[in-house]
A and B are shown apart, each in its own frame.
Chain A
Amino acid sequence: MYRVIKREQLVPNIHLLVVESPVIHKNAQPGEFVVVRADEHGERIPLNLVDWNETSVSMVFMEVGTSTRKLASLKQGDQLATLAGPLGTPTERFQNKNILCIGGCYGIGALYPIIRMFKSNENRVSTVIEARSSFLLYWQEKLRQYSDELHEITRDGTAGSAGHVNEFIVDYVKKHSVDVVYVQGCTYLTYLISETTRPFAIKTIVGLNPIMVDATGMCGVCRVIVGGETKFGCVDGPEFDGHQVDWDNLLSRRKVYLDEERFSLSFYECERYG
């Protein structure tokens, strides 16, 4: 069992989870993830590592289904049933490049260790975070520390530029030299940005979130088609070249258990609240 040091709602539905772990930090690298199970009946789900030190690891997640709702109800001192990692292949490293980093939703948190690494490798880091409205944006100050510039985009214009992130990107890459685009967020965001940068032929790295079970390469549920080849998200990824990903396939595979997920959540809520 793994003791919860902190669980905090950063903005509505997005939480920071800090869990005791004396071992994961040793080999942890930006872009890797952990697998967690909230309790003995829980699913194994992958969460991006957002920070780590000698005693703990931190993750940011969005509350969507039963598993994340269970995680969201954890308090300091509670126990997680499973915490294993670090897993996956670390983010590709660059030097002296202009990198545009885009994060949405839980991906804003997931950007944190990546831009820290990019910055320490002497890249120019432009960070873009997006949400529907200003009250859903978080960690601006943390991200600014490692960004040469930070842009906020809200659909309703309550913070930063108003509009959609893809419109901003088109505008940005026309005016600036960008060597690499890096995206963390929901499948739709990673897809959207990949399609936006495709005509400009800018290398675009996306952090994907296919369904996983063991997350060590054993079950193959996380398979993604990249450049016509089958890759396993958990060991070959979770980051891939966004211009090579078969998005239709990934989007449909994300939905395999949609009905079960809804049912599970209502079952959990009934059990919990009657």
Chain B
Amino acid sequence: MAKKIIPKKTPMREQPAKERIRNYDEVPYGYSEQEAIQEAARCLQCRKPTCVQGCPVEIDIPRFIDFIAKGDFPSAIKRLKEKNVLPAVCGRVCPQEDQCEKLCVLAKKFEPVAIGRLERFAADWEAQRGETSIPTKPRPTGKKVAIIGAGPGGLTVAGDLVSAGHAVTIFEALHRPGGVLVYGIPEFRLPKAIVYGEVDYLVKCGVQLVLDFVVGKTATIDQLLEEYNAVYIGTGAGLPWFMNIPGEQLNGVYSANEYLTRANLMKAYLFPEYDTPIVRGKRVAVIGGGNVAMDCARTALRLGADEVHIVYRRSHKEMPARDEEIHHAEQEGVIFDILTLPVKYIGDERSWVTHMECLKMKLGEPDSSGRRRPVPIEGSNFIAPVDTVVCAIGQSPNPLIPQTTPDLKVGKWGNIEVDPKTGKTSKKGCWAGGDVVRGGATVILAMGDGRIAARSIHEYLTTGKW
């Protein structure tokens, strides 16, 4: 008899918007065991699962869901970790709606299986039990790999290569591992304890972690290659963009990187218990329409802003942020000023920003990205009061490594050029992936790149063939 399909995902309970904008706690609570089993039962266990094709790290999705449906949570998490060293992270920040869930057969008629929520459930279930099973250590190969950047890509490469028996050292420039997961994504979206838990797991598996080590400065790639057989560059996209409009130098104008780094990595929301300050603006404008912009806007609310505006030059439809992020921002009261472009910031005699001048836009013909190009409406200038501006229009790769590695080929935007099939750079023994190659992309794409590079690195280390 055909299984009766429940058309909608099992809802996930979350903190009410009014409460959560006054705290930094995580917004969705996650599934209970019962809810997880109920949701897992919606999976049709397709013989040829399409969902897996949508997963950049090739998680065996039907199997882990089947284990959850049967209440065998230890097997579920074990199966997940075979392919994904960061399940608690991915369950929270992956754009599943564009990947695995988009290809779920149920999605043709109903809501897809909530794969991301189930992934999160399995990872949290294990973390809450406090006992993590560590796989038995493989036989050492005697080969050494240096990974630059302890972000999601680097952590994935580290996990894959340590389980193949290579000696892996991660060099991280900041004082905490996690990269964008820690400096960029806010606590209320991804609690830092979860990231540290996943890093801790890798350390227990044998990965060496060296913090406060700025590759390109403390040691160059060439210096690392004297000691290591292979190097993976996963340094992300750390160079913030500004719009180069008048007034961006005014006090109170932040890059998204600075605003989020202060709030997240440096815990400025706990000032003065933590020493790093942040401007607690009352009228905040966040420029941009991506996930980073949503993170900044929601952070501003939690820092006590009365009014937070997302200022975006195209329309709602073109916003690159995930629907869930936009939805959460809207729920929390963020105001969306779409088809609006700032052209100038105006300051007072102390050089603090007080107003911004904007232009209204309309949509014209599609541009190279396929999205309709925003065109200014002549004479539509208007001035709005603001006391804090956060510029979240994107970022490009940090130039420290390319500058000190002349034989590493880089593209126009400073991105490292690689062979997409292997992640190999122009320099022998060096691989790269994630945002340093792609510009600003996603956590899971960085992890997918890491998986591809790890395979190629392993092959190189075992065969010696470049």
Contacts and interface: CB of A to CB of B under 8 A. Distances in A.
Interface of A: 23-24, 26-27, 37, 41-44, 66-67, 70, 81-87, 213-214, 216-221, 223, 225, 230, 235, 246, 248-249, 252-253, 255-257, 260-261, 263-264, 267-268
List the 3 shortest-distance A-B pairs measured between CB atoms, nearest first. A260-B277, A219-B258, A252-B351
27 contacts: A23-B213, A23-B219, A24-B218, A27-B219, A41-B267, A43-B266, A44-B175, A66-B275, A70-B275, A82-B211, A82-B212, A84-B175, A84-B214, A213-B276, A216-B238, A217-B239, A217-B398, A217-B399, A220-B255, A221-B254, A221-B258, A230-B242, A248-B351, A252-B351, A257-B277, A260-B271, A264-B271
Contact of B217 (A85, A249, A252, A260): A85
Given A219-B255, A256-B252, 16 more contacts: A27-B218, A27-B223, A41-B273, A42-B275, A43-B275, A82-B175, A213-B258, A214-B238, A214-B261, A230-B249, A235-B399, A256-B279, A260-B271, A263-B272, A264-B271, A264-B277
A218 to B, nearest CB: 4
B415 to A, nearest CB: 15
Contacts of A252: 251, 350-351
Interface string B254-269: 1101100110001100
A220 B238 CA distance: 10
Interface string B187-214: 0000000000000000000000001111
B75 interface: no
B229 interface: no
B220 interface: yes
Given A87-B214, A249-B351, A217 B238 contact: yes
Given A214-B174, A216-B400, A267-B272, A256 B257 contact: no
Contacts of A85: 214, 217-218
A19 B424 CA distance: 38
A27 B220 CA distance: 9
Interface residues of B, number: 43
A255 B350 CA distance: 9
Which of A24, A37, A214, A248 has the most chain B CB atoms closer than 10 A to its own CB?
Answer: A214
Nearest to B276: A43
Given A67-B275, A82-B175, A263-B272, A218 B217 contact: no
A253 B239 contact: no
B58 to A, nearest CB: 31
A216 B236 CA distance: 13
B249 A249 contact: yes
A119 to B, nearest CB: 25
Contacts of B150: none
Contacts of B239: 217-218
B266 A213 contact: yes
B40 interface: no
Given A82-B175, A217-B239, A219-B257, A27 B212 contact: no
A83 B213 CA distance: 9
B376 interface: no
A140 B248 CA distance: 43
Contact of B249 (A26, A87, A253): A253
A37 to B, nearest CB: 6
B173 interface: yes
A140 B304 CA distance: 51
Which of B173, B214, B254 has the most chain A CB atoms closer than 10 A to its own CB?
Answer: B214
Contacts of A225: 249
Contacts of B273: 41
Interface string B218-248: 1110010000000000000011101010001
Given A218-B239, A218-B398, A261 B214 contact: no
A219 B240 contact: yes
Nearest to B249: A249
Contacts of A26: 218-219, 223
B251 A220 contact: no
Interface in B123-177: 173-175
Contact of B242 (A82, A220, A248): A220
Contacts of A27: 217-220, 223
B218 A84 contact: yes
Contacts of A82: 175, 211-212
Contacts of B251: 252-253, 255-256
B377 to A, nearest CB: 29
A33 B413 CA distance: 27
A219 B261 contact: yes
Contacts of A23: 213, 218-219
Contacts of B276: 43-44, 213
Contacts of B183: 214, 218
Which of A24, A27, A263 has the most chain B CB atoms closer than 10 A to its own CB?
Answer: A27
A197 B220 CA distance: 38
Nearest to B260: A219
B261 A213 contact: yes
Interface in B328-364: 350-351
A84 B213 contact: yes
A220 B274 contact: no
A257 B223 CA distance: 39
A83 B219 CA distance: 15
A218 B267 CA distance: 17
Contact of A218 (B211, B238, B275, B279): B238
Which of B173, B255, B350 has the most chain A CB atoms closer than 10 A to its own CB?
Answer: B173
Nearest to A224: B249
Which of A83, A217, A230, A257 has the most chain B CB atoms closer than 10 A to its own CB?
Answer: A217
A246 B351 CA distance: 13
B169 to A, nearest CB: 13
Nearest to B244: A230
Nearest to B252: A256
A175 B398 CA distance: 46
A248 B399 CA distance: 28
Given A214-B261, A230-B249, A261 B217 contact: no
A260 B277 CA distance: 6
B184 to A, nearest CB: 10
B20 to A, nearest CB: 25
A67 B398 CA distance: 27
Nearest to B275: A43
Contacts of A214: 173-174, 183, 238, 261
